[in-house]
Amino acid sequence: MPIDPGLRRLALRTQLAAFAGKSAPEWALRLLTEGLAGHTLFGANVAEPIQLGRLTDELRAARPDVLIAIDEEGGDVTRLAHLTGSPYPGNAALGTVDDPDLTRTVYAAVGSDLAAAGINLDLAPTVDVNTADDNPIIGTRSFGADPLLVARHAAAAVTGLQATGVAACAKHFPGHGATTTDSHLELPTVDVPLSVLRERDLPPFAAAVAAGSQAIMTAHIRVPALTGAGPATFSRAALTDLLRVDCGFRGVVITDALEMKGAAVAAGGIGRAAVLALAAGADLLCIGARVDAELVEAVTAEIVAGVRDGRLETGRLEEAAERNAAMASWTRRPVPPVARDAALGYAAARRAIRVEGTLADLTGPLVVQLESGHSIAEGRVPWGLRPHLNGTEQVTVVAADTSPESLAERAGPRPIVLVGRHTHRAEATRALIETLAARHTVAVVEMGWPSAWRPAGARAFVTTYGASHANGRAAAEALGLAVDN
């Protein structure tokens, strides 16, 4: 059956697509002229500032009120600096410093970078309260484990970012911080009563709403007491009753990527996920990273079919499209430029460094980086001390494939500095560190989410609260190993 042109345009106005490459393909531009709300950019779309500026100019030429979104959180999740690592520390470091003015200033700097690149919607900040040490997807993306601390920094981040004219999107409602599974790969469950959710997870979202956040992103998590058997993204009780009515949010509700298994599998496909999300109260559908014209048309057709068969009311679709248009209009207001300080992020990262023990007697060490994986949200971004070292030798090893004897032999009389992320999580990593610390002069640099675990015998334990370029520089300086700039 032919698609009604008016309904098709409405359906397109609720979607954020994406594309591969450093320039926009024909279909991506054409769909913008036909009503598509916008595109999300990923690391694969970003090479350097001049190229990125040309790309965003190209998109805006096709549609002046296009929404150009990106995940630029600073810290471990960066798209602008995915080739080098972010020049800003992430939320965990900012929460550790606990200076809301600093958080506001850092996010204003991030916003300035985005505005200069022609990007007007930042899918940040993450305002989840990270209460699970082994959370595989949030971790250092969170300001911390204390709801009130996270709330005050959520407000500061939103205020700083939006002062630059870039719309903020607080995520992931109603709170992804207590999960121990990744919603990219499955549907996590947070089985707590609503009273716990309200006390632990919701205060940061309430603070973001009060600060005027233009958008809030849904989480593909199941909270049985609130969402029943499905994810919050498909739950009217979560998105309409709790977020709109109880929290008073009037902005745009954006879905997390619908290609994620926590949504697509639960719904039986991306198109069906789109209809369920819109019906629940979502306004802007983030399709994901692997998008082409055929997928956008398929999602559009399913939305139109949903209107025809009664799964989705026309008025709900119109409301969503209007909210998205209003946010796009908000981003086009004239905003005075915010001065940027290139050293700001590095200074902030230094303030977050925490040292337990002593860094004395660590002169001329062997630096050993313990290879670790990365989450889908982070992607492959360089991390560690190597770019900052003053000639000090570094090797990179996989803990499970490395014997402590081989590292001790290589180090000889030199102390060993072990650099890792989430070192407490893997038995092989803990065993390697503990064995070396019992026999050798050892310091540990933890660049992931810290836990209570500390290796007995280690001379020092240094926590950076993140693995950005700025965090790595701060750690190298603390150890006295940084090359002079």
Q: Residue 475: enclosing H or E segment and its boundaries? A: helix 469-478
Residue 34: phi and psi, rounded to 5, are: -95, 0
Does the annotation count 484 as an active-site position?
A: no
- Choosing from 82, 153, 176, 184, which is the catalytic residue? 184
Q: Distance between CA 243 and CA 227 in Å, rounded?
A: 13
> What Cα–Cα distance (Å) separates residue 307 from each residue in 238, 254, 267, 300, 338?
22, 20, 17, 11, 44
- Choosing from 256, 283, 388, 440, which is the catalytic residue? 256
Q: Write a three-state SS string for 355-418.
A: EEECCCCCCCCEEEEECCCCCCCCCCCCCCCHHHECCCCEEEECHHHCCHHHHHHHHCCCCEEE
pLDDT of amino acid 242: 97
Per-residue pLDDT of the chain (485 residues; tens, 9 = 90+): 678 889 999 999 999 999 999 999 999 999 999 999 999 999 999 999 999 999 999 999 999 999 999 999 999 999 999 999 999 999 999 999 999 999 999 999 999 999 999 999 999 999 999 998 888 889 999 999 999 999 999 999 999 999 999 999 999 999 998 887 776 777 888 989 999 999 999 999 999 999 999 999 999 999 999 999 999 999 999 999 999 999 999 999 999 999 988 788 888 999 999 999 999 999 999 999 999 999 999 999 999 999 999 999 999 999 999 999 999 999 999 898 877 888 999 999 999 999 999 999 899 999 999 998 788 788 889 999 999 999 999 999 999 999 999 999 999 999 999 999 999 989 999 999 999 999 999 999 999 998 999 999 999 999 999 999 999 999 999 999 999 86
Does the annotation count 101 as an active-site position?
A: no
